[in-house]
Structure 1
Amino acid sequence: MITLILYSKPGCHLCEGLQEKLEKIQASSQKLGEFQLEIRDITTREDWFQTYQYEIPVLFKSSDVDSTEQRIPRPSPRMSVIQLEQLLQKYW
């Protein structure tokens, strides 16, 4: 199973917008198939906060097969759900 990991923090409107689009894709995508969406609040761990405080939202793809995380370039906030889905297909 593939997991998308979104590093986020409360009150981040860019993070919330990306999360909303990812949830729409997760609910309806037949091209990508099933995946899990994991939201990681960077304010809950100092190492996450130090690493991502100026970069959020940050998106990674992780696979159960090899347990490695691959960073996905941050999509534009103006990107539509369809465009985001097409971007994700490149990393699937």
Structure 2
Amino acid sequence: MLTPKQRDERAMRILSVIELSLDATGEVPTALQMSRQLSMAKSSLHEALVRMQRDGLVEWDKHAIKTLYVTDYGDLTYERAKRGKELGELV
């Protein structure tokens, strides 16, 4: 089981992967792409995304494909977390 700090760090790593993909391609990465990049099982990624949704960091339409997006609160939280850190440290 992850500690709250580890869960927060995992969430920031996921937000970082999303941000980098949006900057590079203009699209949110797929779950498979994120799990590979983060070296996480897809089930662990899904669990983390569900927690992030409950925390208000991300949102998606479970009835549609590729609808994951970072909320305004998620953007603000991510920006605060990366201040003073290099982006590569978050991934």
Q: Higher strand share goes to which structure? A: 1
TM-score, normalised with respect to structure 2: 0.31
Relative CO higher for 1 or 2, CA cutoff 8 Å, sep ≥ 6? Answer: 1
Higher helix share: 2
Question: TM-score, length-normalised on structure 1?
Answer: 0.31
